Amino acid sequence: MTDCNCEPRAGESCDVCEKYTFARYQEVAMSTVVYPVVGHPVVYPIMGLCGEAGEASEKVKKALRSGADMPREEIIKELGDVLWYITAAAKELGSSLEEVAQVNVTKILDRRARGVVKVEGDNR
């Protein structure tokens, strides 16, 4: 979590240091959206998601290659960018982070109950 030395006005909170729910994160993050619509509105966020996930992967690869410690803070920053693009993609699909999380938890708990967590494929 980023430390903040802000002094918000009475009754207000700082967007940097407040604790976030999915809904609040989505509200704040999506207030920064500036990207072109390329075909369907979800195209740009999905492309950005892939790029940012690749950047996180590069941080890990370089640490493994050099034998260095994992650059925790750098990876967390990239994961934040991944989260931003997931949020944008969900918004463009008329969804929310809450819905994405709920659908995912339902899916993975169902897989665990059926004993197919380690099996390959999309529709296990």
Rounded CA gap, 19 and 13, in Å? 10
Residue 104 domain flag? no
Kindly state the average pLDDT of the residues 118-122. Answer: 74
Residue 101 domain flag? no
Residue 117 domain flag? no
Residue 79 domain flag? yes
Residue 43 domain flag? yes
pLDDT-based confidence at residue 5 (cuts at 50, 70, 90): low
pLDDT at 1: 45
Q: What is the pLDDT of residues 44-88, one digit of tens each?
A: 999 999 999 999 999 999 999 999 999 999 999 999 999 999 999
pLDDT at 124: 66
Judge whether 56 and 82 are in contact, CB under 8 Å: yes
Residue 66, domain CATH: 1.10.287
Q: What is the pTM of this model?
A: 0.82
Q: Which CB contacts under 8 angstroms, 24+ apart, belong to 94-97?
A: 96/22, 96/23, 96/26, 97/22, 97/23, 97/25, 97/26
Judge whether 17 and 7 are in contact, CB under 8 Å: no
Residue 1 domain flag? no
Lowest mean pLDDT among 12-21, 63-72, 109-118: 12-21
Q: Which amino acid makes up residue 63? A: A
Kindly state the average pLDDT of the residues 91-112. Answer: 95
- Number of domains, the chain: 1
Q: Identify the domain containing residue 49 by its residue range.
A: 22-95
pLDDT-based confidence at residue 20 (cuts at 50, 70, 90): confident
